[in-house]
């Protein structure tokens, strides 16, 4: 069994070999690859292809997760948890963002001009937008 | 990213794949996906070094996971990569024995590879024992240039033997 303090010769050897290879200059690396009758450009092209494939898969996964979250939010009534908070609590959540967001501040100011302050309905709308953008979760915590 | 940088990543993936017994392409792609998941990609760290360290941590975690040891480890102060091992009961003695035998077989394969070259044997044993380059040079009485030549010979042999994958 290997632990943090247990000698692991294979892992030690691999770590040292990788560090050794990383310490070479670009020219040394390319020369060694060519000397081994490999084509560096071919290797690089394969790495590029593998990375692009991984990025695409990651993007698909992220999209699927976001879509599932959105569907679940719609099913559970969206920002219902937040809309159940007191007005003061809602203003506190929004206050965390409005100080650094001129557009959000402008939106709230406009609402204020039309009445005595941003209406609760307006605040609920802003909270829903923040959730949809993934800025906060449904409990109002920054994400 | 330059051609040399991509070659560095490819070689690192090949090496670390030997530790975790994954196919090197799978290891590299998993590292790319984890990098994309990392929200705080350090701007002052070379992306190659970062991805290499992600591969290193995956390989290390996978190797530990195979032992099914409950552990939480924080790997790499460069990229703040956190690896949390699944908390599982210790595996049975048979699994551990098998794992130990596989590791021993890989070390044996390395020893066989360098069997006709005493300098390579010495360097390999020193690297496996976490000796530094200067300690190794002192051990063999080699100059920096001589040591670099030995390492080059070692890399050439390793690549010729294990370039397509590390099988013991």
CB of A21 less than 8 A from some CB of B? yes
* A58 with B36: Cβ contact below 8 A: yes
| Model confidence pLDDT, tens digit, residues B145-167 | 999 999 999 999 988 888 766 65
CB of B134 less than 8 A from some CB of A? no
Mean pLDDT of B62-84: 53
The secondary structure element, H or E, covering residue A21 is helix A9-22
Nearest to B7 among A14, A40, A58 (CB): A40
Nearest to B4 among A2, A26, A50 (CB): A26
pTM for the model stands at 0.65
Tell me the range of A56-70, A109-123, B89-103 where mean pLDDT is highest. Answer: A56-70
CB of B158 less than 8 A from some CB of A? yes
Angle at A15 between CA A12 and CA A21, to 5 degrees: 140
Q: Which range has the worst mean pLDDT, A30-44, A62-76, A106-120, B93-107?
A: A106-120
CB of B117 less than 8 A from some CB of A? no
| Model confidence pLDDT, tens digit, residues A56-109 | 988 888 788 777 777 776 666 655 667 777 888 887 877 777 766 676 666 666
Q: Which range has the worst mean pLDDT, A110-119, B12-21, B35-44, B72-81?
A: B72-81
**Which DSSP state fits A117?**
S
Considering just the CA atoms, what is the radius of gyration of chain B in Å?
A: 18
The secondary structure element, H or E, covering residue B82 is strand B81-84
d(C-alpha B30, C-alpha B24), whole Å: 10
The secondary structure element, H or E, covering residue B74 is strand B72-75
Residue B68's pLDDT is 52
CB of A29 less than 8 A from some CB of B? yes
Nearest to B11 by CA among A66, A131, A33: A33
Q: By CA distance, what is B46's nearest residue in A?
A: A22
């Amino acid at each position: 069994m290997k632990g943090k303090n247990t000698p692991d010769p294979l892992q030690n050897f691999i770590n040292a070999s990788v560090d050794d290879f990383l310490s070479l200059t670009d020219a040394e690396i390319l020369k060694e690859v060519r000397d081994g009758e490999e084509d560096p450009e071919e290797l690089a092209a394969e790495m590029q292809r593998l990375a692009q494939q991984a990025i695409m898969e990651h993007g698909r996964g992220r999209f699927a997760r976001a879509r599932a979250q959105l569907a679940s939010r719609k099913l559970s009534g969206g920002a219902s948890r937040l809309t159940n908070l007191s007005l003061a609590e809602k203003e506190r959540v929004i206050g965390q963002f409005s100080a650094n967001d001129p557009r959000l501040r402008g939106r709230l100011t406009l609402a204020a001009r039309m009445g005595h302050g941003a209406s609760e309905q307006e605040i609920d709308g802003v909270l829903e937008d923040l959730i949809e953008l993934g800025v906060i979760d449904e409990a109002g915590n920054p994400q | 990213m330059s051609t040399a940088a991509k070659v560095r990543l490819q070689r690192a993936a090949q090496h670390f794949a030997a530790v975790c017994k994954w196919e090197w392409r799978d290891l590299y792609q998993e590292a790319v996906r984890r990098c994309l998941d990392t929200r705080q990609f350090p701007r002052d760290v070379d992306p190659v070094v970062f991805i290499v360290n992600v591969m290193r941590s995956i390989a290390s975690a996978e190797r530990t996971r195979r032992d099914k040891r409950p552990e939480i480890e924080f790997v790499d102060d460069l990229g703040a990569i956190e690896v949390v091992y699944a908390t599982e009961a210790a595996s049975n003695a048979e699994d551990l024995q098998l794992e130990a035998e596989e590791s021993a077989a890989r070390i044996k394969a390395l020893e066989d590879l360098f069997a006709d070259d005493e300098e390579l044997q010495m360097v390999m044993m020193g690297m496996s024992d976490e000796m530094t380059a200067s300690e190794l040079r002192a051990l063999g009485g080699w100059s920096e240039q001589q040591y670099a030549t030995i390492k080059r010979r070692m890399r050439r042999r390793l690549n010729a033997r294990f370039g397509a994958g590390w099988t013991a």
